[in-house]
Amino acid sequence: MSKKRVWAVLFLATTLLLSACSKGESGAATENATGENNESAGSGLKPAKLKIVLYGDESARMKELAKTEFKDIVKKEINAEVEFQFIPWTEYGGGKTDLMLSTGEDFATYTDTNYMVKSVAKGLYADLTPYMDSAAADMKKTVDEHSFKAFQLGGKQYAVPVGNKPNSGEFYSVLVRQDLLEEVGMSGVSSLTELEQFYEKALAAHPELVGYASTDARRLLMYEYTDKNLYWQNDFLALDESAQDDKIISWFESEEFKAYTQIMRSWYERAIIPKYAATNTPQLQSDWNSGKAMFWAGTAARPFEGAATISQAVPDAKLTNYFLSKDLPKISRGTYSTAWFVSASAADPERYVMFFNLLQKNQELYDLFAYGIQDKDYTVDENGRLTRLTTDALIPDWLMMNKNFMRFDKSVPDDFIEQYKAWDDEAVISKGAGFNFDNTPVKNEETKMGGVFSEFLAPIASGFLDYDENFPRALEKLKAAGFDKYIAEYQKQFSEWYAAK
């Protein structure tokens, strides 16, 4: 009898709870709706609701600001209720983002050109062209013009670039632990030989360190194995920026690739790339962050961005960028960090564009979104140097980064800032910038090639496997996956686009 009672009670409790849950939900929804209607717009715009999806962890301070200052300023400026939703990085460019797009949710988040091309083909992004002149007027002054072009397809703007920072020669420099370099009595690195010398000397002093904390060095080593100025379109294809033509180079079939693998093979054999890299790639990044590696691929900003991370483990770490051997013009894809898209089912895409515009509108707003409230989250001294009072990230730094507004902290030397700002001065915009490959005709081939790449080609490229022994078979697999058809299609589209340009 008592058991029966227990079950009956349990059943009742469950039913009650279920109904309570659903009621709670609908109740809240109606409240919101009426609340919204009551608020009349002060700025002439109709009230709107915006949902901004960001990837990564939401810091405690961001949570607070999202409910207070950020919300208020957005309300005041463009009369919109903004809501920030944070989801894990694994959902970027697929996963939940895809689900949200396909089910017609009203939101905006950031994208890269690859994901944009795929999604636009499925009709998932809103066309933002009509709003660019009016709603994005301010940011057009602070964000480079080329960046806008990179996110156009068929003349239509599908994503709005954000950020404006020196981006050229990304990963083409060697980012060296200058503190270690000086410790072993060297002052700089200007060639592969010197880099390897540095490795040997530093290893002798610190046997626990590893050399290179990545499995891909094709860019930074380029100056050693070729005279061309290669710029990669993806894992398979490259352009020679020093030639004035529209020829697509098949990277794996080139002589350059062979020469490159030989360096990588020797690095792997000499343990400059640690042995565990073949099976545990994520460990490399952890090693770098914890100061256990000697050099890495550099970007203009990495010396100060990276130092902040490493200094948690090695407080006096210093980082410097070096280009090996040759002085070739640095190639740039544009100065944007990323770009915002708006889902095709958004009720008010224009308001989203207005919000993006706010982020890069002026110093005041930039400071607020990137650093928070002055004297509460950060202080600025008379030289304009920033001291952050909280370590909590707000709208991610890397995303906002605009050289017109960004602030440096006191630890960054003046000459470095000058160098940083001048980094792009002699850079050349890639001749492929703005070209977006439509992969629909070769979708299957692309998928198969992706498999061949990770299974057969990447281990050769990283030096884990010997080129002579393994490459013929890998190439055979690549051809069988339909690579010839793929490159022909790519070349065709690129030539057409290039000629039109």
Residues that bind another protein (CB under 8 A): 3-4, 7, 10-11, 13-14, 17-18, 21-22, 24-26, 55-58, 60, 63, 85, 87-93, 96, 99, 102-103, 110, 112, 114, 163, 167, 170-171, 208, 214, 216, 281-282, 284-286, 289-292, 299, 301-302, 305-306, 308-309, 312-313, 336-338, 393, 396, 398-399
Nearer to another protein by C-beta: 24 or 441? Answer: 24
- For residue 33, count other CB atoms closer than 10 A to its CB: 9
Number of H helices, E strands in the chain: 22, 18
User: Which three-class secondary structure state does DSSP give residue 97?
Assistant: helix
Which of 50-85 are b and which e, b meaning 16 or more Cβ less than 10 Å from the residue's Cβ? Answer: bbbbbbeebeebbeebbeebbbebbbebbbbbbebe
CB-nearer residue toward another protein: 163 or 211: 163
Minimum CB–partner distance for residue 437 and another protein (Å): 14
Q: In the bound complex, what is the minimum distance in angstroms from residue 88's beta carbon to another protein?
A: 4
Minimal distance in Å, beta carbon 82 to another protein?
A: 14
Distance, in Å, from the CA atom of 215 to the CA atom of 288, rounded to the nearest integer, reads 13
**Interacting residues of 460 by C-beta distance below 8 A, sequence separation 6+:** 261, 466, 467, 470, 471, 474
Q: How far is the CB of 255 from another protein (least distance, A)?
A: 26
Residue that the structure tokens 């439509």 belong to: 438
Q: Which is nearer to another protein, 289 or 495 (CB)?
A: 289
CA distance 54 to 110: 8
User: Strands of 338-342's sheet, edge to edge?
Assistant: 80-87, 48-55, 108-111, 338-342, 160-162
Least separation, in Å, of the C-beta of 193 and another protein?
A: 27
Q: In terms of CB distance, is 110 or 148 closer to another protein?
A: 110
HSE-CB of 67 using CA atoms within 13 angstroms: 6
In the bound state with another protein, the residue whose beta carbon lies nearer, of 287 and 350, is 287
Minimum Å gap between C-beta 83 and another protein is 9
Residue type for position 437: F
Given the structure tokens 């239509």, which residue do they identify?
Answer: 156
Instruction: Report the residue number, 25 or 255, with the smaller CB distance to another protein.
Output: 25
Cβ 7 to another protein shortest distance, Å: 6
Nearer to another protein, 246 or 305 (CB): 305
The alpha carbon dihedral of 109, 110, 115, 117 has a sign of positive
Cβ proximity to another protein: between 135 and 273 the closer is: 273
Distances in Å between the Cα of 475 and the Cα atoms of 215, 245, 444, 456, 458 are: 20, 26, 18, 9, 12
Q: How far is the CB of 96 from another protein (least distance, A)?
A: 7
